[in-house]
Each structure stands twice: as structure tokens, then as C-alpha cells.
Structure 1
Amino acid sequence: MLNHWIRSLSTRLWATNMAAFAVSLVVLATIVIYVFSQFPEQSLGRREQTEMVGRIAAGLDFDDAGRPVSVRLPGELAWVFQVLPADLQYRVYDGQGRLLLASTGARDSAPWLPDSLGAAAGSIVHVTIDGKRFAIATRQVSRGQAAFYVQTATSAQFTGALVRLKIQPIPRTVETVVFIATIIFGLTLPLTIRRVLRPLREVSQAAAQITPRNLKTRLSTKGIPTELTPLINAFNEALARLENGFKVQQQFLAAAAHELQTPLTLIRGQIELQPEIEEKEQLFREIDLMARQVRQLLHLAEVSEAQNFTFGEVRIVDVAQDVVGYLARKADAKQVKLQLKESRALSPIWADRSALFILLKNIVENAINVSPANGVVTLMIDEVSIQVEDDGPGIPQEYVPFLFKRFWRAPESRHDGAGLGLAICKEIALAHEWRLTVSSLSTGTRFVVWL
């Protein structure tokens, strides 16, 4: 079980994807932590400064003439500007560079940048003001035809403190995200793999249903991944070659059996016409045995092809009576009694009458062959089964798996045969989707055809 799990394609896909996903997350998290730790100003500081000047620009209030008259800030941000006037300041200029609005501590100072406001718009410039390092962010705000400029000055000390506060929880956050993401991915990945491999499972199930009776079936490539399509096509081509070989084999078997019947009949007739030939009975016995084997070969070739069956409504009792009548002389010669037991008012079944006759004839004939003198062979019919019981010595358990194989005969078998009778019965049962079983009784054997 463990070996099967380890060799499973689903397990390998799961393990490979989990490893790739975990490695990707770890590498990505390491890069993020490294960038934030080694380049805090570039990674977070500039973003904070850009957001800050953007919020000042968004909070501008204009009068009817289109001039900015005040700045509305959220409570926390307004509080920061009031508490840290030496580290965080803003200014609002008109297009000519005149100061219109400013935060506490920023109104009376000289211009922060020597360049023109238009040239500085959209940039962040680092300068020193009163011996203190600041980052100056500038943004242009348009109001009708007029242009205004918003500037924020953020001290390097404030930016560093802010960045450190934001960086501090990042490693733990990244670890938590990686852990949760790995668990979720690991739990959902089997469902994804199962869905992706569903076409392959369906193809496998379809392939398992292919038997010598439906070699014309071909596997569909619909929904199959492109990488597996050549495999399916190769399998279909192999089926085509197998179908052709099986057809040639069956045609040869049928042709050979058919061609042998006429010479055997002629040979028997010639022997009958030659009075000087000795031990005719032995020769007749051998010829009859060969003729029987030829007939069985012909039957085997016929029942191995589904198109040779002609189905219709059949009354089992009528076929059973025909079998009993056909084998009555053989039973009398062996001093075996044939009896037929049937349930009343049996419904017709859907079957090939000739095939059903051959099936019952072969089983009953075998039962007669193994029954002792004064033995009884009973043919019982009900709604769900046909049973044949004999008074023979029974079948050793180790022989049961070989009973329905072609050309197999028990080592101690005392009657003539080619070992094809039960193989033919098996083929007929398969064609009708019946089940054929055998069991040993206290005395004798029971064959059951489950309808």
C-alpha cells in the first residue's frame, strides 16, 4: 500500500508542486525581507512620502475664485503635523511660487528647494535644512487654468522611525502567510490534481472494459492533455492491429474447421465400403472424435464473434427439452437417467436460441460422461438460473480455475474430448452477460448459469 502511494502519479505531482510552492514562497519572502531591511528608504520611505504629499493635495479646500484657502486632514495626520512640526511640514504655493498655506513651523522659512516648482513636481529631493536632513516631495495640483504646488518636508529621522515600525512585523507576517498559504495549497492541490487527472482515469476505465468481444472500441482523446494524446493514439493503433489479428485467427479457425468436415465424412464412408479393413469400430471412434472436435472448433469460432449471435425471446424450457431429447440416446447408452425440473410459468428470456442449446448440451453431455451407471443428471430451471447436477466423482478444487480454459482436460479424464466444451459455454455466457459458476456437492458437481 505504501509502495503504491509512493509510486502514484498524484502523489508525485502533489509532492513536486508543494516543494516548488514552498521554495518559491521562501525565496520571495527572503527577497522582500532583504529589500525592506537593506533599502528601507527606497522601498518604504519614498512610498510614505509620496502618499503624504498626495493626502495634502487631496485635502485642499478652494474658495470661489479657485484659490486654496485651507487643508483638511484626517485626525491622526493633522495631529502628527501638530506634534512633530520640526520633522513633518507642508507648504502650498501658487504658480508664481508665492506661499499660500503652510503647516506649523514652515511658514517663515526660506524655500526648501532652489529649483523651480515646476521642475520639482513629481519628484522627491533630499536637502539639508538648518543642519537637518529632509526629503522634499512636490506635487502639482491643477484647478481650472491655475496650477498650484504642494510640498512636504519629512525629516530623515522621522522617515527612519516610520520605516522601522513598518518593517518590524514583516518577518513574522511573512512567516505566518507562508505557513497558512502552504497549508491551504497543500489541502486544495489534491482536488486540483484529481480534476486534472480525471480524463486519464476515464480513459483507463474505458480501456479496462475492452475485451476480445469489443475490440472495435477506441479510446477518445477528448479532454486528454496534449502530452498524453500520442499515448492514446498509439493504444488505439495497437487495438486496431489486435482486432485484425484476432479476426484473422477466427477466420482461419472457422475455415479450417469447415474444410475438415467434408474429408472426415468421406473418409468414414470409404471405410464403411471397404470390408477388408479390420478394427473398423476403432477407426470410426477416432473419426467421430475428430469430427466432434472439428464441430467444437467451429462452434468456438462462431461464439467468439458477437455478430454471430441472433437474439430474440426464448423459452428456456423448450430449449432444455430439446437438449434432453438430443442426448437421450447417449444417456441410455451410459445407463444414466435424465430428468428435467422446471418452475411454472417461466417468462421468456432474451437470448440466442442456438447458442443456449449448445451451452446446455455441452454441460449436460459432460454430466452424462462423468456420471456412473444408474446415475442421475438433473436439469433444473427457475426464474434466475439454470442448474445442472450430476452424480459423478466431483471436481477437485485445484482444477476449478482451469475448467473453462480452451483445450484443458483433467489429467485423469476417462472420456474423449478436446477440452473445448466448457470454453464454448463460457464464451456464450459472456456474450449474453450471464454468469457461469461451478461447485462441488457431497456427491457430484453442480453447474449454474445465472441469468
Structure 2
Amino acid sequence: MFRYWVRSLSARLWLTSVTALVICLGVIAAITMYTFSHSPPRMLQRHADIRAAQRIVDGLRFDSHGQPVAVALDEQSAWLFNVATNDLMYRVLDDRGHLLLASGKAAGGEQWEKGNPAEESREDREVSINGRPFDLVTRETQRGNARFVVQVATSVAFNKAVLSMKVKPIPGIVGWTIALATIIFGLTLTFTVHRLLRPLRAASRAAASITPSSLTMRLSDKGMPSEIKPLITAFNDALSRLENGFIVQQAFLASAAHELQTPLTLIRGQIELQPGIEKKELIYREIDLMARQVRQLLHLAEVSESQNFVFSDVNWADVADDVAGYFALKASTENVSLELDSPVIASVIKADRSALFILLKNLVENAINVTPAGGRVTVSVDGSSIRVSDEGYGIDPEHLPFLFQRFWRAPDVQHDGAGLGLAICKEIAGAHGWQINVRRLQVGTAFSVVFNA
């Protein structure tokens, strides 16, 4: 199971995609962490300081003379300026550098920079206030003809502390983000791959159902990905060539068998009319064996084509009785007891009567051939099956997989044959949807034909 999963296309696609996602997210996370770890704090806090200065500018309130009298801030900004009075301060100056408004401790003390800020303003620079380094952001605003300067000073220590608070949770957030993204992507990809490969699985099931009796079937390319369609087309072309070759083979088999029947009959008749031929019984035996093989080849060619079957209501108990009567003389000659165990109530199925007769005939004939003199062959009929059991030497378990192969014969088989009887039985059972079971008995073997399987 593990080897199948490792070699499967869906597993490789899933593993490749998830690995690529993890690598990409890892690279992005590494770049992000490197940026936060190696960029100066002032660069990372610069935009925050500029936004703070802009909030002061936007919050300025003026009197009727156009002079600033107050600063209206949102709750969070006001709280910061009130709590961090030593580290976060603002001032509002006129164009001559006179102080108009200030926060907390910014109202008094030394100037934040030399000269007039309105004449030499710079958006971002570092200054020293009360001996401590501060990041200073200066913005200008205008009310009528009057020009005002807004300065926001944030201590470098405060900025570093805020930056540390911002950066500290980032590794955890990035890690959880990568983990969740990988899980969600993996689950989504599993569903997607399963859905994308659905047509291919359907084609595989259809291909597996194709047998010699259904070579006319073709795989549909409906819904197939463009990359798979050439494979489906090539497979269908191979099926067409295989069907054509099978038809030619079956036609040759039937023609050869049919053409051989008459000459064999004539040869046997000529031998019977020649009084001087020695060992006629041996010659008759060989001719009869050859004739039997020819008949089996003809039967095999017939049952391999489904259109050769004619289905009707058939009483399988009657067919079993016909087969038992057909082999009564052979069983008596071989000193084998042939018994028919059939219920009084008849059972009827849809089947080709002659095909069912051939199937049972082959099973009973094989059973008689393998049963020693004095033994017994039993044909049992019940409500859903027919069982043929013998008292022969049994079947080696390692030979069971080969029983129904054409022309296969067990190495230790003692009776003559071509190895086609059970192959014919399998073809007939397959065409009818029946099942043939083989079971080794304590003495002998039992073949069962199950009609309702």
C-alpha cells in the first residue's frame, strides 16, 4: 500500500505542490523576518511618527481669528500622549517659532532644535531633548494666510520598545500562517486532485471490464484532460486492432475445425472398409481423439462470440438429466457409477440450452475420465446451482490458477485431451453471468456452476 501511494500520480502531484508552497512561504517569511531584524528602527517607525504628526495637523481647532486653540485626537492617540508624556510629545508653532500649543511636558523646557522650525523644517531627523535622543517629525499646515508648524517628538527608546512589541509575535504568526496555509492547501489539493483524476479512474474501470467477449467497447474521452486524450485514443486504436485480430483468429479457428470434421469422418470410414489394416483400434482411438479436439475447437469458436447464443427459458434439471443420459454408456464402459441427484421441482433460467449442455457435458466427461473403475460421479442439482463431483485423484492446489486456461493440461494428467474443455466452460459461464467454483474434496474434486452469483 505504501509503495502504491509513493508511486501514484496524485501523491507525487500533492507532495510536489505542498512542498513548493512551503518553500515559497518559507522564503517570504525569511525575507520578512530579515527585514524586521536588520532594518533601522527609525525606518520602521518613520511612517508611524508621520501618521502621528498628521493626526495632530488634522486635529487642530482654530478660533475666529484663525489661531489654533486646541487639538482634537482620537481616543487611542490622546491616551498615548497623556500616558507617555516623557517619550511622546507634540508642539504647534507659528511661522516665527513661537509656541502656541503643546502636549504635557512639551509646553516648557528647551527648544527641540536650533533656529526657526518654520524656516528650516525637515520631516524626519534625530534631535536631543533633555539629553535624550528623539525622532522628530515636522509638518506644516496653513490657515488662511497664516502658516503653522506641527512637531512630534518620539524618544528613540520608546520607538525601540514599540518596535520590539510589534516584531516579537511575528515569528509565531508567520509559523502558524504557514502551518494553516499548508494544511488548508493540502486538503483542498487532495480534493482537487481526486476530482481531476475522476475521469481517469472511470477509464481504468472501463478498461478493466473489457474482455474477449466485449472487445467492441471503447473508452470515452468525455471530460478527459487534454493531456490524457491521446492516451485514450491510442488505447481505443489498440482495441480496434485487437478486436480485428481476435475476429480473424476466431474465424480461422471455426473454419479450420469445420473443414476438418468431414475429412476425419471419411478417413474413419475408409479404414473401416479396409480389412488388411492392423491395429485399427489404435487408429480409431487417435481419429476419435482428433475429432473430439476439432469439435472442442468449433465449440470454443462459437461460445467466444456472444451473438452466437440464443437465450430462452431453460429447465437446468432437464439439461442435467440429458447430460447424464448422454454419458450413461460411457460411464458403464468405464465401470464408473454416474448418479443424478435432482429435485422434483424444476428450476428455470434464461440461458442458451445447447451452451448449458456443452458446459455440463465437459464437466461430466472430465469427471468420468479422472474417476477410477468402481468410483462414482455425482451430478447434484439444487435451487441455484449444479455440482459435478468425482472420486478422482484430485487437483494440485498449485494448478488451480491454470485450470481454465486454453490448452493447459496438468503435468500428471492420465487421460487424453487438448486442454480446451474447461476453457469452453468458462466462456459459456462468463457469457451468461454465471460463476464456476472448484473445490478439492477429501476424495476427488467438485465443480459447481452457480446461476444466481
Query: Which range, TM-score by smaller chain?
Result: 0.7 to 0.9
Looking at structure 2, the residues matched to 149 and 216 of structure 1 have their Cα atoms a distance apart, in angstroms, of 93
- Which residue matches 2:158? 161
Q: How far 1:242 sits from its partner (Å)?
A: 2.6
Q: 1:224 to 1:328 in 2, by over 3 A?
A: same
CA distance in structure 2 between the aligned counterparts of 1:211 and 1:69, rounded to whole angstroms: 96
Conserved 8 A contact 2:10-2:193: no
State the SS of the aligned residue for 2:392: coil
Change (3 A) 1:148 1:50: farther
Alignment of 1:230-269 (within 5 A): 230-269=230-269
Q: Alpha-carbon deviation of 1:358?
A: 0.9
Answer yes or no: is 1:409 the counterpart of 2:409. yes
- 1:134 aligned partner, one-letter code: L
CA distance in 2 between counterparts of 1:149 and 1:262 reads 126
Report the Cα offset of residue 77 of structure 1. 0.8
Measure the CA separation in 2 of the matches of 1:148 and 1:283. Answer: 135
Moved more, 84-93 or 72-81: 84-93
Given residue 166 of structure 1, which amino acid in structure 2 is its aligned partner? L
- Percent identity, aligned pairs only, is 48
State the shift of 1:361 in Å: 0.7
Aligned residue for 1:309?
309
Q: What SS class does the counterpart of residue 426 from structure 1 fall into? A: helix
Contact 1:378–1:390 at 8 Å: present in 2 too?
A: yes
Q: Which amino acid aligns with 1:438?
A: V
Mapped partners of 2:312, 2:140: distance in 1: 94
1:373 aligns to what? 373
Query: 1:182 corresponds to which letter in structure 2?
Result: A
Please state how far the C-alpha of 1:380 moved relative to its aligned partner: 0.8
1:185 aligns with 2:187: no
> SS where residue 89 of structure 1 aligns?
strand
| Aligned residue pairs, count | 437
Task: Give matches, 1:64-103, under 5 Å.
Answer: 71-82=71-82, 83-84=84-85, 87-89=88-90, 103=102
Write the letter of the residue equivalent to 2:90. Q
Distance apart, 1:407 and its partner CA: 1.4
Write the distance in 2 (CA, Å) between the matches of 1:265 and 1:90.
127
Name the residue aligned to 1:428: 428
Which runs of no fewer than 5 residues in structure 2 stay unpaired? none
* SS of residue in 1 equivalent to 2:341: strand
* Contact 1:438/1:447 (8 A) holds in 2: yes
1:14 CA displacement: 4.3
1:178 Cα deviation (Å)? 1.9
Query: Which moved further from structure 2: 257-266 or 200-209?
Result: 200-209
How far, CA to CA, are the matches of 2:228 and 2:444 in structure 1?
Answer: 54
Displacement of 1:261 after TM fit? Answer: 2.0
Greater shift in the superposed pair: 182-191 or 298-307: 182-191
Q: Which residue of 1 is the match for residue 322 of structure 2?
A: 322
Aligned mates of 1:355, 1:252 — CA distance in 2: 21
Q: 1:399 to 1:130 in 2, by over 3 A?
A: closer
Q: Say if 1:53 and 1:356 are closer, same or farther in 2 by CA, change over 3 A.
A: farther
The more displaced of 395-404 and 253-262 is 395-404
Secondary structure of residue in 2 paired with 1:246: helix
Q: Aligned pair in 2 of structure 1 residues 114, 258: CA closer, same or farther (>3 Å)?
A: farther
How far apart are residue 359 of structure 1 and its match?
0.6
Structure 2 counterpart SS, 1:242: helix
Number of the residue aligned with 1:333: 333
Matches within 5 A, 1:216-227: 216-227=216-227
Relative to structure 1, the CA distance from residue 31 to residue 289 in structure 2 (aligned partners, 3 Å threshold; closer, same or farther) is: same
| CA distance in structure 2 between the aligned counterparts of 1:30 and 1:395, rounded to whole angstroms | 70
Instruction: Check 1:86–1:265 CA distance in 2 against 1; reply closer, same or farther (3 A cut).
Output: closer
Worse-matched range after superposition: 266-275 or 415-424? 266-275
Q: 1:264 to 1:226 in 2, by over 3 A?
A: same
Report SS of the residue matched to 2:415: coil
Correspondence list, 1:84-163, <5 A: 84=85, 87-89=88-90, 103-104=102-103, 112-114=117-119, 125-126=123-124, 134-137=136-139, 153-155=151-153, 157=155, 161-162=158-159
Q: CA deviation at 1:370?
A: 2.1
Asked whether the 8 Å contact 1:36–1:167 carries over to 2, the reply is no
* One-letter code aligned to 1:379: V
Residue pair 2:80, 2:88 contacting (<8 A) in 1 also: no
TM-score, with structure 1 as normaliser: 0.79
TM-score after normalising by structure 2: 0.79
Measured in 1, the distance between the counterparts of 2:58 and 2:214 equals 76
Mapped contact 1:137–1:152 kept (Cα < 8 A): yes
In structure 2, the residue matched to 1:389 is 389
Cα pair distance change 1:152/1:388, threshold 3 Å: farther
Structure 1 SS opposite 2:123: strand
Greater mean alpha carbon deviation, residues 285-294 or residues 359-368: 285-294
Comparing 292-301 with 310-319, which one deviates more in the overlay? 310-319
**Bigger Cα displacement from structure 2, 295-304 vs 18-27:** 18-27
Determine if contact 1:54/1:139 at 8 Å carries over to the other structure. Answer: no
Report which stretch shifted further, 319-328 or 187-196: 187-196
Deviates more, 1:74-83 or 1:1-10: 1-10
CA distance in 2, matches of 1:60, 1:4: 72
SS where residue 335 of structure 2 aligns?
Answer: coil
Could you tell which deviates more after superposition, 287-296 or 254-263?
Answer: 254-263
CA distance in 2, matches of 1:268, 1:252: 24
Equivalent residues in 2 for 1:30-45, closer than 5 Å? 30-40=30-40, 44-45=44-45
Corresponding residue number in structure 2 for 1:170: 167
Distance 1:69 1:371, change over 3 A: same
| Backbone CA RMSD of aligned residues | 4.2
Provide the rounded CA distance (Å) in 2 between the counterparts of 1:367 and 1:285: 20
**Relative to 1, partners in 2 of residues 1:43 and 1:5: Cα closer, same or farther, differing over 3 Å?**
farther
Q: Which residue of 2 aligns with 1:343?
A: 343
Query: C-alpha deviations, 1:262-318, integer Å up to 9, x for none?
Result: 332333344344445444443333222212111111111222233333333322112
Distance 1:147 1:304 in 2: 107
Q: Is the 8 A contact 1:377 1:391 kept in 2?
A: yes
| Native 8 Å contact 2:70 2:101 kept in 1 | no
